[in-house]
Structure formats: C-alpha cells, structure tokens
Amino acid sequence: MSERRPQRVPSGRWGRLYHLGRATGDLALGMGWRGLLEMTGTSEGSGPITLSPERARRLTERLGRMRGAVMKFGQLLSMDGADILDPNVAEVMGALRQGADPMPLSQLDSVLRREWGRRWQERFTTFEFSPLAAASIGQVHRAQTADGRDLALKIQFPGVRESIDSDLDNLAFLLRHFDALPEGVAVDPLLDEARRQLHQEADYLAEGRALQAYAAALGDDPEIILPAVHPDLTSERILAMDFMSGEPIDHLADRINDQKARDRAATLLSRLSLRELFEFGLVQTDPNFSNFLYQRESDRLVLLDFGATHSVAQGWVEAYRRMGRAASKSDRGALEDACRELGYLHPGATAEQREALLNLLEMTSEPLRHPGVFDFGASDLFERVYHRGRSMFFADRFSGAPAPETLFLHRKFMGTFLLCRKLRARVDIAGLLEPYLRE
C-alpha cells in the first residue's frame, strides 16, 4: 500500500461531525461556483467538475482519517470520479479506494491483546506490523503462524463499529440540512438499510460465516478461488484467512496491449455476478476493485472481502428477472410493471416522471440488447447515463427510490459495470444473461 502516516481514529459524534463538516466545506469551496452549478444541474456544461488538487487532497485525508461509514460513503463517490472530476483530482480521490490511514502500533497492539490475550505474539513466527492494506473498517496484516500457516489477518479499527450509528446520524443531518435529495425520496429508510449493512460488515464472525456459505454455493469452480477461514484466530474484530496472491483486478487496465486478459477478467466477474443473483441467491456487494485479485499465471479470479455479503429473497430475484426480460426486449409496459414492483415508481408518479425513468432504464440496459460482445472501452454509455440521471435527480424526475433491501444489489451492478468500463473490456453481456431470462 502507499505510505500513509498512522492516525488515531476520531471518536465521539461531535468530533466526527466536525471532520465531516470540514470535509464537506473543502468540497464546496474547492469546486467553486461552476462546480456547484454542475452538481445541481443548473449549468448546461457537460465537462468534468474541477476541484483543485490541494482541496481534493484535504478532502481525501479527512475521509481517510475518519474511516468507518463516512469513508465508505466517500469510496462509493470516488468510484466514478474519473468522469465527475478532472483527471488530476480523480487520481487524488482514487486514494480512497486504495486505502485509509493505518492505526498506530499502540492501537493495533491493544486490539490484539483484547482479542488474543497479552501473549498473542507467541502464536506467530512472523507478524508484519506494516499493513498490506487499510480500508474503511479495518486493516490487513500478513503473518505466519507457529504451525506454518500463511495468513492474511483483517483487524478492525477500534471504535469504528461503535461509531456507525453516529456517522449515519451525521450524514442524515447534512442530507436534510442541505436538502440534498429530491422531493419524495425518504432518507430514513435508506440510512436504516445502510446502518444494518454496515453493522453486518463490522462483524467479522459473520463475515467468516458468509465466506464459508459463499464457498459452498460456488462449489468447485476452476476459475474462481476463495481464501479459507481459520476459526481459531477469528473473532468479532479479527478475521483470519489464507493469504492470497495476485494483483488488484483494476490494475489490468494498465496492460494496454493485453486485451485478452482484460476481457477475460471482466467476463469472469460479470458471469459470477449473474450467478450470485440468479443461482446462489447470495451476493458479495462491495464494489471496491481491490476486493478482487487477478492471478496472471493461472488466469483466475480471487475474491477477498465478504463483509458485505447478502442473501437475496427469491421474490426479488424473480422481479429482477422480469426487469431483465423487459429491458432486453424494450417492452416498456413490462418494464414499467417491474419498476413499480421494485419501488422505482410510486403509485402517484406523474406521466413525465414515468417516461423519464423508462427512458433512463432503456439507455442503461443497452448492453443487454447489444448482439455479441459489448465494447465498454468504446462506449460513452456511462457518461450519457450519468448526465441524464443527474439532470433527473435535481429536476425531481424520480418519484421514488429502490426498495431499501435492494440497495446492496445496486452497489453490485454499478461496481461490475464500472470495472468493465475501467478495463475497457469487451463482454458478451447479453449472452451471459440470456440463460437466466428464459421462461
């Protein structure tokens, strides 16, 4: 990971609200008048929003210092930063996806003592105190146990789990204070679902069980590999797994002359995403690209993080199947029915809201209707969807939000789409989806 200075995690609601408020101020001041007009849809320009590198650095540092729910929110915003921000700033904001500030050694030792006891070091022959990575909820260390196991240890930041509720309360305060959501979109159900998901992600015992359940659903797949859980060293705040080698999957984007590897990696992840929804009913939903590794020597995909793994009720699976059928056939009547079933359209939606949403969904589903491979590198679909969706958002063209319990699926869909696009991959999306849409 890139060199970062250890920083203690801020605690207490008002202290974290202070940092969040400063981060929001950095964003607003750095964007300037034109950027604010772009964000609110009142400017006709369609170019990237500029933010000075210094302001972006300060914003990134504040979110990285807070960790927890606020940093995860920032990671989601930064995923499409290459199109919303200018290239220099997007690179700085992309640091949120690469990692957070590690905790000081004193905090690390206190966590390990609490979970494993005062003589915890006797369990290991080597323990790398410099973390391999630090994310929104914890950091990862490599270690070799006394009995010869090569492990990756995911260790939770102290206080982050306890701060989830206050972080989300702070976000709710800012969303309401700045009137940041369209009329008719209730913030409370969305934040309640986010609260539930984040508490689940902060329970490493639950993540270990999710990894084992996912492995059982995946079965013997020669193209996908998962780490094994080591229960004797796993607790609510430490997850012990096999150490897995490979490169973050989005790094394949730099292999300009290896279109085959980029296509294969994107196809593997797209196929797996469809299997998760339609076969497993169990979806790994964290869209952070660093959660997926690619092994060049074997052309296999490695999955690392299962904290955001969610089961999907069969009713929702069938609703998305119906939406996929309607979108692939441009059947607007059936598409409207699916939108109402999934909560995109409320009963009181106007004709204008209905038409705007159906037009947006038809645009978004272009890869489903494209015969053969869809070239994500040559398509401007993301830019068109982004600018259309932004205009609709600030013009109150959305009559409702997706059902809160389906929010994690939208994270998955967006993450897969963005990765295919980042890799400039060519993927036969329609061919992969077709078997799941049959009557």
What is the DSSP track for 368-416? HHSSS-EETTT--HHHHHHHHHHHHHHTT-------GGGHHHHHHHHHH
CB atoms within 10 A of CB 431: 15
Q: Mean pLDDT throughout 300-307?
A: 91
**Catalytic (active site) residue 286:** yes
Of the two residues 243 and 413, the one the predictor is more confident about is 243
pLDDT tier for residue 410 given thresholds of 50, 70 and 90: confident
Which pLDDT tens digit goes with each residue over 249-267?
888 988 878 899 999 999 9
Radius of gyration of the chain (CA): 22
Task: For residue 287, count CB atoms less than 10 angstroms from its CB and return exposed for 0-12, middle for 13-18, buried for 19 or more.
Answer: buried
Q: Mean pLDDT throughout 288-306?
A: 88
Task: Identify any residues that bridge with 309 across adjacent strands, giving them in sequence order.
Answer: 284
Which residue matches tokens 């790094």? Answer: 251
Please state, rounded to an integer, the average pLDDT across all residues of the chain: 78
Q: Mean pLDDT throughout 104-112?
A: 91
Q: Is pLDDT at 268 greater than 70 in this prediction? A: yes
Q: Mean pLDDT throughout 179-193?
A: 61
CB atoms within 10 A of CB 381: 18
Which pLDDT tens digit goes with each residue over 1-52?
445 556 555 544 445 555 555 555 544 444 443 443 444 444 444 444 445 5
Interatomic CA distance for residues 332 and 120, integer angstroms: 61
| Active-site residue identified among 26, 286, 305, 428 | 286
Question: Number of H helices and number of E strands within the chain?
Answer: 18, 13
The most confident of the ranges 61-65, 68-72, 99-103, 144-148 is 144-148
Q: Can you read off the two tokens belonging to residue 432?
A: 């992969």
Interatomic CA distance for residues 309 and 315, integer angstroms: 18
Which pLDDT tens digit goes with each residue over 380-405?
898 888 778 767 765 666 656 667 66
Of the two residues 305 and 211, the one the predictor is more confident about is 211
Q: Is pLDDT at 86 greater than 50 in this prediction? A: no
Distance of CA 287 to CAs 204, 291, 305, Å? 18, 8, 10
- State the pLDDT at residue 300: 92
User: Euclidean distance between the first and final Cα of the chain, in Å?
Assistant: 47
